[in-house]
Structure 1
């Protein structure tokens, strides 16, 4: 009942200034265009109505992408104002905008639709001078949505400003206080931090654009909230950038440590390879020296054999144990061969292949193999 009491004087004032719809066929909804625009048939004529003092996310703008909760705002207005719904229109100082749309407050059963959209968190208060007739009611509805965390003020919705701030805060809280020693893990963390930093930078850019574009009582009322959010996001971005610098420095340290370790191992492997090469050379040198010693020994043996006297090929080898020759009883002397050698003896200068021990006869001229 309180709401009806407030709206009644507004409608009366609009009649007094000639800004209420003319008597006759009541305004009827034809279709909803988006969250803050609809077509209404008034006295048999179709008019495009732009809701005053409220702005919803874009869905049909030719130069903008579909914005966060834009489709939800359109769906909400479609549900609130279905085709054929009878409404009341109230106007302000300027009745049309630069696009030729009729600027109006739309009432359904004495409820200001403009404010209901803001109360749901699907639109925000907007002021374009000189029309401010419904601004205070829309701002009050927006404050309710902010307090309740609905729609554009819901930090559980990723695309909202509170949602992006919360996501950035969560991303920062999940970054480790101590850095791992694995470069791949660090680079993955850098990617996560970069994503959060991108969100923060996009938010700051949005705040900059809003500060440059807004010039209204609504801006004055909510300026402190925007600045507070901007300060928070700015601090988050600085934290992320500092963290990123620290992690990249740690990555550089690890990579330098790995480089030095690689060089140390390479030097050790090279030294070991050189040691093995020298050991192989020494082994081959020793093998060659031993081969040469063996070859020299064989040459010396062959030379020694060649220096020893050789027996004639037709000479029979001397018996191993020749029997002593019998004495000649008639002469009283030992038997000797024609050369004067005792039996079984050979002259010391006679060639022979015998290399064993020699037993010489008295006088040392003749010898025979020792028994």
Structure 2
């Protein structure tokens, strides 16, 4: 076997054995020795949804409130009853309520209200993206979070708007001015 092939084989084995060492910029998850869920520098990386507050906010069984990144759904809390808000909440609940979800964080971990800011993955996909793609919410881009995905979400919103999906076909005042 040539030295080049041997070197390539050795490098491949090491890469498979040890991975790339966190090149994605996120801290690796850690599991506590007493069986606590995995966490990152921001919070849990997995959790079970105990309550759906509205279309873009949930509460985990552990008590943390999670606000979805890059999506804003119509308000139905604090006395508000915006067009398509109940539908957005029900759509969200249908995917996440009682389910174990995976949480992925971005640059900033929390918002001004102390809620965790995350992308939330369910077996059928990422709920943040599903809400926008199916017309249950609008893109809410608040840098520095979402810098690498805002364009993707805007494209999904454009398609939903063009197809008059969800709130785009039902509501007159969609996504603000």
- Relative to the length of structure 1, the TM-score reads 0.36
Give yes or no for the alignment of 1:139 onto 2:154. yes
Aligned mates of 1:12, 1:79 — CA distance in 2: 35
Give yes or no for the alignment of 1:98 onto 2:112. yes
Q: Which residue is 2:9 aligned to?
A: none
Equivalent in 51, 56, 60 of residue 36 of structure 1: 56
Q: Which residue is 1:58 aligned to?
A: 75
CA-atom RMSD, angstroms? 2.5
Q: 1:22 to 1:151 in 2, by over 3 A?
A: farther
Deviation, structure 1 residue 138: 2.2
Aligned mates of 1:75, 1:136 — CA distance in 2: 26
Q: 1:95 to 1:119 in 2, by over 3 A?
A: same
Deviation, structure 1 residue 147: 2.4
Question: Residues 114-136 of structure 1, C-alpha deviation per residue, up to 9 Å, x if partnerless?
Answer: 01001110101111121114423
Q: Which residue is 2:26 aligned to?
A: 17
Aligned mates of 2:118, 2:23 — CA distance in 1: 15
Q: Which residue is 1:121 aligned to?
A: 135
Aligned counterparts, 1:169-318, within 5 A: 210=177
> Does the Cα contact within 8 Å between 1:35 and 1:56 map onto a contact in 2?
yes
Aligned length, in residue pairs: 143
Deviation, structure 1 residue 141: 2.1
Q: Which residue is 1:179 aligned to?
A: none
Q: Which residue is 2:19 aligned to?
A: none
Larger radius of gyration: 1
Question: Residues 48-71 of structure 1, C-alpha deviation per residue, up to 9 Å, x if partnerless?
Answer: 0000010000000x3x62100000
Q: 1:151 to 1:110 in 2, by over 3 A?
A: closer
3-state SS of the aligned residue for 2:106?
Answer: coil
- Higher share of residues assigned strand: 2
Deviation, structure 1 residue 108: 1.1
Unaligned runs of 5+ in 2: 1-21, 38-45
3-state SS of the aligned residue for 1:29?
Answer: strand
Equivalent in 91, 103, 106 of residue 89 of structure 1: 103
- Higher share of residues assigned helix: 1
- Relative to the length of structure 2, the TM-score reads 0.71
Aligned mates of 1:12, 1:58 — CA distance in 2: 38
Aligned mates of 2:51, 2:163 — CA distance in 1: 30
Question: Residues 160-209 of structure 1, C-alpha deviation per residue, up to 9 Å, x if partnerless?
Answer: 12xxxxxxxxxxxxxxxxxxxxxxxxxxxxxxxxxxxxxxxxx6xx99x7
> Does the Cα contact within 8 Å between 1:21 and 1:88 map onto a contact in 2?
no
Question: Residues 81-140 of structure 1, C-alpha deviation per residue, up to 9 Å, x if partnerless?
Answer: 121x11110111110000000000001137211010011101011111211144233222
Question: Residues 250-272 of structure 1, C-alpha deviation per residue, up to 9 Å, x if partnerless?
Answer: xxxxxxxxxxxxxxxxxxxxxxx
Write out the 4+ residue segments of structure 1 that deviate beyond 6 Å after TM superposition. Answer: none
Q: Which residue is 2:42 aligned to?
A: none
